[in-house]
Homo-oligomer: A and B are copies of this chain.
Amino acid sequence: MSFKIYLSGEIHSDWREKIAQGIADHKLAVEIKSPVTNHQASDDCGTSILGDEVEAFWKDHKAAKINAIRIRKSIEDADLLVVRFGNQYKQWNAAFDAGYAAALGKPIITLHDTELTHALKEVDASAQAVCSTPEQVVEILAYTLNETL
């Protein structure tokens, strides 16, 4: 059994690397996809490629629409969405991705500190598992793919 996963959310910590390392350590047949995690590039792609904008709104709009090409394909291809919420930013895009995946019937794993439990209750309620560490995410993948605890 093999899996494609999409890692949505926070880009300011190393949770993606930890999950990737755990997958490598367990030799799991998991293909990982992520959004563009270079913050500057992801903010600038629209105007850099398609031309400058005077209004910040349109700069963001052009960037977000280009980024959506990668994100939506990744979610649609994924067998599982892992969505990470940090304590610092609003990350509405991560919650948007989770809602998008939920409507497609994709299983979701959320990853966040327990202090966010109340604020994330609707997202967590749509998830198959609520993790507080990347290691737990890896353990779920290992159990799901290799039947080992």
Contacts and interface: CB of A to CB of B under 8 A. Distances in A.
A93 interface: yes
Given A33-B1, A93-B95, A99-B95, A73 B79 contact: yes
Contacts of A125: 60-61, 64-65, 68
Interface in A69-127: 69-74, 79-80, 85, 89-105, 107, 114, 117-126
Contacts of A24: none
Complex copy number for this chain: 8
Contact of A65 (B72, B91, B118, B129): B129
A67 B129 CA distance: 10
A85 to B, nearest CB: 7
Contact of A121 (B37, B61, B144): B61
Interface of A: 1, 3, 33, 36-38, 41, 44-46, 48-50, 54-58, 60-74, 79-80, 85, 89-105, 107, 114, 117-126, 128-131, 136, 139-140, 143-145, 147-149
22 contacts: A36-B143, A45-B143, A45-B149, A46-B129, A49-B143, A54-B54, A56-B117, A57-B124, A58-B58, A60-B121, A69-B80, A69-B140, A70-B144, A70-B145, A71-B122, A73-B80, A73-B107, A90-B90, A90-B119, A96-B96, A96-B102, A100-B100
